[in-house]
Amino acid sequence: MNIYLWYNQKEAIMEQNQKTIRVMGTGFVKIAPDTTKLTFSIDSKHDSYEKAYNEASIGNKGLREALEKLKIPKDALKTSDFSIEKHREWISKDVRWLTEYHLNQQLSIELPLDGILTSKVMSALGTAWPELEVNISFIRKDSHDAKLQILESAVKDAREKAEVIATTLGHKLGGIVSVDYSKRHIEIDVHDDGQLCDEHCIGASPIDYTPEDIEAGDTVETVWYLE
């Protein structure tokens, strides 16, 4: 979102000799997350392309079948990255070149803040593809109000700083010359450490967690007249 406030050219010429100050305001907000995001990743090595491809094919099919058993739409699981790369490494004169095929895939699914459901999904997907590594993060999907709060906080901060500067310089703070808020995207999420979902988490008790509040911030640049 871009916000620009400018006086017209005539006003600018009339007041071009007025002193101005440029102040950067910073806004922060703390909000509770509303969504759990599970990110699954696989990084395995194979001695042939076919074996790498087969693991991906069987693994992905198993994941979606596991979700359907939980009555979760299979298309809720999104793939953000997938590759099978050929790697060659010189070993020795006897073995010469070692050729491997590396399978890399990253998937994610977003769930309500429900520890029982999260545990069921982790357990089901971990059973379907035991080599998966899972990372839990908490995000705020509905962040519109939070972004407006950040902007309001940043503008108030800029004005307070401008008033202090003006007073210290022996002036009064005049009207606003311009406001530049060109930040287009604010990341509002918080991540936990990754953990391996293997036989130890399959069938385990539900995870009891309370996500910490998410902190987000942004800046706004303002220019003020001095009287």
Q: Are 55 and 160 in contact (CB under 8 A)?
A: no
Q: What is the pLDDT at residue 82?
A: 94
Q: Are 113 and 32 in contact (CB under 8 A)?
A: no
122 membership: H or E segment, kind and range: helix 115-128
Q: What is the mean pLDDT of residues 161-190?
A: 81
135 membership: H or E segment, kind and range: strand 133-139
17-26, 75-84, 207-216: range with highest mean pLDDT: 75-84
Q: Which of 79, 70, 138, 144 is nearest to 105 (CA)?
A: 79
Q: What is the mean pLDDT of residues 195-213?
A: 62
| pTM summary value | 0.67
Residue whose token pair is 């940043």: 154
Burial class, 222, CB count within 10 angstroms (exposed 0-12 / middle 13-18 / buried 19+): buried
3-state helix, strand, coil in the chain (%, to 5): 30, 40, 30
- Residue 113 CB contacts under 8 Å (≥ 6 apart), including other chains: 33, 34, 35, 36, 138, 211
| Domains of the chain as residue ranges with CATH | 1-34+140-227 (3.30.110.170), 35-139 (3.30.70.3400)
pLDDT digit string, tens, across residues 92-142:
666 567 789 999 999 999 999 888 899 899 999 989 999 999 998 888 887
